[in-house]
C-alpha cells in the first residue's frame, strides 16, 4: 500500500457519522481518500467529529507526516495500556463516584454468553456488595429469627419469607445505590474525558485526542507556555492548540455538530452566536490546562466606541465579576474543544457547560435596557462607571452541551451546494442484520450505489408487537427515528445517495464495545479503507485529475437535474402565492412589483431600494412564467423529487477558508447586528443572536 500523500490531484469534502467506538473505521478510510484527494472541508458528529478533527489536523500537517500518523491510529489504540487492557478501553476513565457504575457496565465486554454474565455478576458483587448486604439485611434477620424461635410449619414459612425478603431487599438496595450514583454523575456522564479512577498513568480521552491533533498537525510540544500566542498560520511546536482559524488559513474548513440541550437546539461549530461564557476553573475538569489557558488568553476582540461595542465590554466586565471569560471568536476556538463538545455521549461522556444570559427573564431584559440607555447618555464613561451606576446586572445561567449526534448524526448538508465544485463524500455506518456475521472480504461489508436506480429504498427494521422485548424495540425505533430522520431523508435522494458509502459492522463490533480486541479493530479499519477505495474508484476514475471519473460526472449532472427540478417547483409555488388574492390582506402585487406603493409594515427600504425591489420582482415573475410554461425541466427528473425550502440559519461561523489569515477579530461579524431598531433583540420571544 502506497504511503505517498504528497501530491493529490483532486479535492473533496468529507462528512462522517457518529458511532462511539465504530469511529475506528475512519482513520484508514480518510488516509485512503487523502492519497487522491486534498481534504478541503471535513465534518462530523460525535465519533465522526473525532475523525473530522483528526482528518483536518492531518491535512494541516500533510507535509510533516500527518496522514502517516493517522494511518497508525488503529494500531495505537489497540496497544496495551499501562493501566491494563487496551489504550482504547483506558481512554474512558470514570470519575471516582461513577467508578462502580462504569465497572459493572463494562464488565464482560468482549466476552459472550455465560462468561459475560459471570463477569457482570462478579463486578456487581465487587462494586455494590455493601448495597446488597444492607438491602438483604432485614430479610436475613427475619430468616434467622424465624429459624431460631419458630416451630413446625410456621418456622419454615418464616425462614422462606425472610429469604424472599432478603433477595428482594438486595435488589432494592442495588437499585437505590445505582440510582444514587446516577444522580451524582458530573454532567450526566460517567467519564469527563479527563484523568479519572483507575487510569494509573494511562492517557484519558481528551488529553490523548488533544495530543494526537497537535502531533498530526505538526505541532509536537505545544503547551500551556504558548497559550498567550496568536492564532496565526500553522507552525511548529509551541504554537498553541490547533484552532479553526489556523485550519482556515491553510484552506481547510472544519465543522461539527453539538447539541445545546438547555435550549433543545442542535448547533454547528464554530458558531457565530456571541454571548457564551465559561468558568475556567470548571473547564479544567473537562479540558487540558493549556487549552483552557489559550481560551483565557484569547477573548473576542471588541473594537470601536459605539453603544453596542461598549455594551459588549460592559457585559464582559459583568462576566469577569462572576469569574467567567467569554467563549472565543470562531477563529480562536481550539478544535479539540468543539470535538469534545460534540462527543458528549449521554451517560458515558459528560455534557460540557457554558454560561449565557437568558434575556427572556425580566431582570436580564431590564439590565439590557438600562445599560443601553445609560451608555447612550454617557458616551465618555468607562465600564467601571457604568457598573457603579447600574442597578440591574445580568444573571448568567448554565447551558449544557451534549452529543452532536442527537439531532444530526450524519450532517451531510454541511458542505453541499446546488452545483458542487468537488464531491462531498459521506461515510455512513450500518449494522448487519442480527445473526449475520461480517464477510471476510472487507469490501463486501460496504455498500456504495453504483447505478442511478440503486440505493433509493429505505432500510426496514422489523418490530415485534409483543412482550417486553417488543416494547423496548418500539421505544428504540421511536428514539432512532427522531434522531436520524433528517439524515436518512437525504440518503435516498438522487444526487446525494451516490456519494455515501455505508460500512457495516455487527453488534459485537463498534458502538459501546470499548474493549474490542485488535483483530476486530483491524477488521473495522480495513472496511473503512475498502469503502474509501470504492469512492475513489467511482469518482476519481483511472486517471485522477486528467480524465473525469464517471461517478463525479454523473453526480454533477444529477445534481443539475435535481436542483433545477426543485427550483421549478419552488418558482411555481412562489408565483401562485404572489398572484392569489387573500381576503383581508394587502395583495403581494401592491407590496412589491410594478407600481407597488402600499405602506409596508416593517423592514422598510428607501425609495431607491424599493424601486429596485419592484423591478426585480417583475423579472422574477417573468422567470416564473418561463419556468412553469411546460414540464421540460421536471419531466423525467430523478426520483424522489426534492423540494427547495427555507430553513433556519444554523449560527455557524460564516468565514470560509482561506479568508482567515491571522486573527479572529477579522472574522467576528458584529453580533449586535441582530438588535432591533429600538435597541431590543427579540430574544425574549425565543430566538436570535445574543447581544454581546
Are 644 and 566 contacting, i.e. CB atoms less than 8 angstroms apart?
Answer: yes
Q: How many residues does the chain have?
A: 692
Given 403, 487, 498, 506, which residue is catalytic?
403
Are 241 and 215 contacting, i.e. CB atoms less than 8 angstroms apart?
Answer: no
Residue whose cell numbers read 500566542: 229
Residues 6 or more apart whose Cβ sits within 8 Å of residue 267: 257, 258, 259, 260, 273, 401, 650, 651, 652
Q: Kindly state the cell numbers that stand for 518.
A: 485488535
Task: Report the half-sphere exposure of 95 (CA within 13 A, side-chain side).
Answer: 19
Max Cα distance, the chain (Å): 106
Are 245 and 326 contacting, i.e. CB atoms less than 8 angstroms apart?
Answer: no
In the three-class reduction of DSSP (H, G, I as helix; E, B as strand; rest coil), residue 568 is classed as helix
Report how far apart, in Å, the C-alpha atoms of 476 and of each of 258, 428, 512 are: 22, 19, 16
Choose among 543, 538, 542, 567: nearest CA to 553. 538
Are 434 and 493 contacting, i.e. CB atoms less than 8 angstroms apart?
Answer: no
Are 316 and 299 contacting, i.e. CB atoms less than 8 angstroms apart?
Answer: yes
Given 22, 41, 46, 222, which residue is catalytic?
46
Choose among 403, 380, 381: nearest CA to 390. 381
Look up 417 and say whether it is catalytic.
no
**Helix (H), strand (E) at residue 269:** strand 265-269
Please tell me what DSSP assigns to residue 331.
G
In the three-class reduction of DSSP (H, G, I as helix; E, B as strand; rest coil), residue 278 is classed as strand
Choose among 528, 410, 505: nearest CA to 17. 410
Beta bridge partners of 186: 189
Choose among 401, 408, 376, 371: nearest CA to 387. 371
Q: Kindly state the cell numbers that stand for 293.
A: 489557558
Beta strands 396-402 and 253-260: pairing type? Answer: antiparallel
Report how far apart, in Å, the C-alpha atoms of 324 and of each of 281, 287, 353, 482, 557 are: 9, 16, 12, 35, 52
Look up 441 and say whether it is catalytic.
no
First to last CA, the chain: 52
DSSP secondary structure letters along 374-438 = HHHH-TT--HHHHHHH-S----EEEEEEE-GGGT-SS-TTTT--SS-SS-EEEEEEEEPPTTPPP
Are 354 and 326 contacting, i.e. CB atoms less than 8 angstroms apart?
Answer: no
Q: Which residues of 550-570 are buried (b: 16+ CB within 10 A; e: fewer)?
A: ebbebbbebbebbbbbbebbb
Residue whose cell numbers read 437505590: 176
Q: Kindly state the cell numbers that stand for 53.
A: 478533527
Q: Kindly state the cell numbers that stand for 588.
A: 403581494
Task: Report the half-sphere exposure of 225 (CA within 13 A, side-chain side).
Answer: 4
Q: Which residues are catalytic?
A: 46, 403
Amino acid at each position: 500500500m502506497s504511503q505517498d500523500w504528497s501530491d493529490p490531484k483532486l479535492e473533496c469534502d468529507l462528512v462522517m457519522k457518529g458511532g462511539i467506538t465504530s469511529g475506528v473505521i475512519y482513520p484508514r478510510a480518510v488516509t485512503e481518500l487523502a492519497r487522491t484527494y486534498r481534504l478541503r472541508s471535513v465534518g462530523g458528529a460525535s465519533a465522526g467529529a473525532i475523525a473530522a478533527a483528526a482528518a483536518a489536523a492531518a491535512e494541516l500537517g500533510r507535509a510533516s507526516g500527518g496522514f502517516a500518523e493517522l494511518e497508525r491510529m488503529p494500531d495505537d489504540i489497540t496497544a496495551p495500556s499501562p493501566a491494563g487492557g487496551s489504550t482504547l478501553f483506558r481512554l474512558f476513565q470514570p470519575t471516582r463516584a461513577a467508578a462502580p457504575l462504569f465497572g459493572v457496565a463494562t464488565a464482560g465486554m468482549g466476552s459472550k454468553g455465560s462468561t459475560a454474565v459471570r463477569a457482570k455478576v462478579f463486578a456487581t458483587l465487587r462494586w455494590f456488595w455493601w448495597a446488597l448486604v444492607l438491602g438483604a439485611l432485614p430479610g436475613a434477620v427475619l430468616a434467622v429469627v424465624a429459624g431460631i424461635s419458630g416451630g413446625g410449619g410456621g418456622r419454615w414459612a418464616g425462614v422462606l419469607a425472610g429469604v424472599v425478603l432478603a433477595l428482594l431487599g438486595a435488589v432494592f438496595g442495588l437499585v437505590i445505590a445505582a440510582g444514587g450514583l446516577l444522580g451524582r454523575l458530573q454532567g450526566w456522564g460517567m467519564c469527563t474525558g479527563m484523568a479519572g479512577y483507575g487510569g494509573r498513568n494511562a492517557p484519558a480521552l481528551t488529553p490523548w485526542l488533544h495530543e494526537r491533533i497537535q502531533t498530526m498537525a505538526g505541532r509536537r510540544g505545544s503547551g500551556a507556555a504558548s497559550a498567550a500566542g496568536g492564532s496565526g498560520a500553522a507552525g511548529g511546536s509551541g504554537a498553541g492548540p490547533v484552532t479553526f482559524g489556523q485550519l482556515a488559513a491553510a484552506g481547510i474548513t472544519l465543522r461539527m455538530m453539538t447539541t445545546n440541550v438547555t435550549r433543545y437546539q442542535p448547533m454547528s461549530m464554530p458558531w457565530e452566536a456571541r454571548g457564551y461564557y465559561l468558568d475556567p476553573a470548571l473547564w479544567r475538569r473537562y479540558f487540558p490546562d493549556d487549552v483552557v489557558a489559550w481560551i483565557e488568553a484569547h477573548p473576542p476582540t471588541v473594537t470601536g466606541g459605539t453603544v453596542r461595542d461598549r455594551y459588549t465590554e460592559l457585559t464582559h466586565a459583568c462576566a469577569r465579576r462572576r469569574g467567567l471569560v467569554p467563549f472565543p471568536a470562531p477563529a480562536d476556538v481550539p478544535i479539540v474543544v468543539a470535538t469534545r463538545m460534540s462527543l458528549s455521549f449521554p451517560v458515558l461522556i459528560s455534557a460540557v457547560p457554558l454560561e449565557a444570559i437568558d434575556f427572556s427573564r425580566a431582570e436580564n431584559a431590564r439590565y439590557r435596557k438600562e445599560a443601553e440607555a445609560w451608555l447612550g447618555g454617557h458616551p465618555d464613561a468607562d465600564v467601571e462607571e457604568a457598573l457603579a451606576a447600574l442597578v440591574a446586572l445580568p444573571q448568567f445561567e448554565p447551558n449544557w452541551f451534549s452529543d452532536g449526534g442527537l439531532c444530526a448524526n450524519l450532517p451531510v448538508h454541511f458542505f453541499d451546494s446546488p452545483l458542487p465544485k468537488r464531491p462531498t463524500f459521506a461515510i455512513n455506518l450500518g449494522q448487519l442484520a442480527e445473526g449475520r456475521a461480517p464477510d471476510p472480504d472487507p469490501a463486501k461489508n460496504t455498500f456504495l450505489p453504483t447505478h442511478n436506480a440503486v440505493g433509493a429504498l429505505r432500510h426496514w427494521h422489523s418490530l415485534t408487537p409483543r412482550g417486553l422485548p417488543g416494547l423496548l424495540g418500539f421505544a428504540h425505533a421511536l428514539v432512532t427515528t427522531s434522531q436520524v430522520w433528517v439524515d436518512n431523508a437525504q440518503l435516498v435522494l438522487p444526487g446525494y445517495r451516490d456519494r455515501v458509502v455505508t460500512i457495516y459492522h455487527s453488534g459485537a463490533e463498534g458502538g459501546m464495545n470499548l474493549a474490542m480486541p485488535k483483530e476486530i479493530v483491524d477488521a473495522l479499519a480495513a472496511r473503512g479503507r475498502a469503502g474509501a477505495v470504492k469512492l475513489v474508484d467511482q469518482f476519481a476514475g483511472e486517471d485522477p485529475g486528467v480524465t473525469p471519473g464517471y461517478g463525479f460526472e454523473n453526480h454533477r449532472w444529477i445534481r443539475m437535474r435535481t436542483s433545477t427540478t426543485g427550483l421549478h417547483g419552488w418558482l411555481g409555488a412562489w408565483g401562485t402565492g404572489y398572484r392569489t388574492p387573500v381576503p383581508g390582506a394587502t395583495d403581494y402585487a401592491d407590496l412589491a412589483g410594478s407600481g407597488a406603493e402600499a405602506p409596508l409594515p416593517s423592514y422598510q427600504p428607501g425609495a431607491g431600494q424599493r424601486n429596485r425591489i419592484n423591478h426585480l420582482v417583475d423579472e422574477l415573475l417573468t422567470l416564473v412564467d418561463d419556468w412553469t410554461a411546460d414540464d421540460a425541466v421536471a419531466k423525467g427528473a430523478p426520483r424522489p423529487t426534492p423540494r427547495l425550502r427555507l430553513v433556519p440559519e444554523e449560527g455557524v461561523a460564516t468565514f470560509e477558508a482561506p479568508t482567515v489569515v491571522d486573527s479572529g477579530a477579522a472574522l467576528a461579524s458584529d453580533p449586535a447586528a441582530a438588535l432591533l431598531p429600538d435597541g431590543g433583540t427579540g430574544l425574549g420571544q425565543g430566538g436570535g443572536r445574543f447581544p454581546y
